[in-house]
Structure 1
Amino acid sequence: MPPAAVTNLGYTPPDGGWGWAVVFGAFISIGFSYAFPKSLTIYFKEIQEYFSVSYSEIAWVSSVMLASMYAGGPVSSMLVNRYGSRPVVMVGGLMVSIAMVLASLGTTIIHLYLCVGVIGGFGLAFNLQPALTIIGTYFQVKRPLAIGLAMTGSPVVLSTLAPLNQFFFDSFGWRGSFLVLGAIVLNCCVAGALMRPVNKRVQVKPSDGSPRCEVAREAAAAGVSTPSADPPPEDGPTESKCPSYIYRYIDLSLFRHRGFLIYLVGSVVMFFGFFAPVVFLAPYAKHQGTDEYSAALLLSIFALADMFIRPVTGIIGSSKWVRPRIQYFFSFAVSYNGVCQLLCPLASGYEGLVVYAVFYGLAFGILSALLFEALMDLVGAHRFSSAVGLVTIIECGPVLLGPPISGALVDAFGDYRYMYYVCGMFLLAPGVFLFIMHYYNYKKLDEEQRQSLSLEIRASEEALKLRINQEVETMKCKYELEAAD
Structure 2
Amino acid sequence: MASGSEASQPRLRKASYYAWVILAVCFLVSTLIAGINTSFGVFLVPLSREFGWSAGAISFAYSLFMLVNGLSAFGVGRLGDKYGSRLVFFIGGLVFGLALLLTSHMTEVWHLYLWYGVLAGIGRSPLNVTLVAMVSRWFSKARGLAMGIVNSGTGAGSSLFTPLTNYLIVAFSWQDAYIIMAVMVWVFLTAAVLLLRDDPRDMGYLPYGEEEDRPQPARTVKAPSPKRVAKGPDWELGEAVRTLQFWELAILHFCCCMCHAIPLVHVVPYAIRSGLSPATAASVLAAIGVFSFLGRIMWGILADRWGPKPAYVLAVFQQGLMMLWLIGTSHPLMFFLFAFFWGIGYGGAMPPYALFVKDYYGLKSFGAIYGGIMVLASLGMAAGGYLGGLLYDLSGSYQPAWILSLVAGVVTAFVALDLAPPIHPRQRRQAEMEGEISAPAGAKVSSSPA
TM-score above 0.5: yes
Q: Is the 8 A contact 1:19 1:138 kept in 2?
A: yes
One-letter identity of the residue aligned with 1:433: V
In structure 2, the partner of 1:206 is 215
1:252 matched to 2:234? The reply is no
Give the drift of 1:170. 4.6
One-letter identity of the residue aligned with 2:355: E
> Where does 1:198-277 land on structure 2 (aligned, <5 Å)?
198-200=199-201, 204-206=213-215, 230-232=231-233, 236-237=235-236, 251-277=237-263
Give the drift of 1:263. 1.2
Q: Radius of gyration: which is bigger?
A: 1
> Where does 1:21-170 land on structure 2 (aligned, <5 Å)?
21-48=21-48, 51=51, 53-170=53-170
CA distance in 1, matches of 2:103, 2:276: 35
One-letter identity of the residue aligned with 1:19: A
SS of the residue aligned with 2:174?
helix
Give the drift of 1:296. 3.6
1:305 matched to 2:291? The reply is yes
Aligned length: 411
The percentage of counterpart residues that share the same residue type is 20
1:15-54 deviation line (CA, Å, top 9, x unaligned):
6431111112211332233221332444455545555544
CA distance in 1, matches of 2:111, 2:172: 20
Task: Report the TM-score, using the length of structure 2 for normalisation.
Answer: 0.79
Aligned CA distance change for structure 1 residues 375 and 47 (closer, same or farther; 3 Å): same
CA distance in 1, matches of 2:345, 2:32: 21
Q: Which moved more, 1:449-458 or 1:292-301?
A: 449-458
Q: Is the 8 A contact 1:13 1:137 kept in 2?
A: no
Q: Is the 8 A contact 1:90 1:192 kept in 2?
A: yes
Q: Is the 8 A contact 2:92 2:123 kept in 1?
A: yes
Give the drift of 1:128. 0.7
Aligned CA distance change for structure 1 residues 52 and 300 (closer, same or farther; 3 Å): closer
In structure 1, the partner of 2:447 is none
One-letter identity of the residue aligned with 1:78: R
1:390 matched to 2:372? The reply is yes
CA distance in 1, matches of 2:141, 2:402: 38
SS of the residue aligned with 2:58?
helix
Aligned CA distance change for structure 1 residues 40 and 430 (closer, same or farther; 3 Å): closer
Q: Is the 8 A contact 1:86 1:196 kept in 2?
A: yes
Q: Is the 8 A contact 2:163 2:286 kept in 1?
A: no
1:349-381 deviation line (CA, Å, top 9, x unaligned):
544443322110111111133343333333223
Give the drift of 1:293. 4.8
Q: Is the 8 A contact 1:273 1:422 kept in 2?
A: yes
Aligned CA distance change for structure 1 residues 395 and 13 (closer, same or farther; 3 Å): farther
CA distance in 1, matches of 2:338, 2:260: 15
Task: Report the TM-score, using the length of structure 1 for normalisation.
Answer: 0.74
Give the drift of 1:99. 1.9
In structure 2, the partner of 1:245 is none
CA distance in 2, matches of 1:99, 1:449: 46
Q: Is the 8 A contact 1:334 1:367 kept in 2?
A: yes
Give the drift of 1:430. 2.3
In structure 2, the partner of 1:279 is 265
CA distance in 2, matches of 1:41, 1:341: 18
One-letter identity of the residue aligned with 1:329: A
Give the drift of 1:136. 0.8
1:402 matched to 2:384? The reply is yes
CA RMSD across the alignment: 3.5
- Gaps of at least 5 residues in structure 1 are 1-10, 213-227, 238-250, 461-485
Counterpart among 360, 367, 370 of residue 342 in structure 2: 360
In structure 2, the partner of 1:217 is none
Aligned CA distance change for structure 1 residues 315 and 204 (closer, same or farther; 3 Å): same
Q: Is the 8 A contact 2:295 2:347 kept in 1?
A: yes
Aligned CA distance change for structure 1 residues 43 and 345 (closer, same or farther; 3 Å): closer
CA distance in 2, matches of 1:402, 1:191: 31
One-letter identity of the residue aligned with 2:124: L
Q: Which has the higher helix share?
A: 1
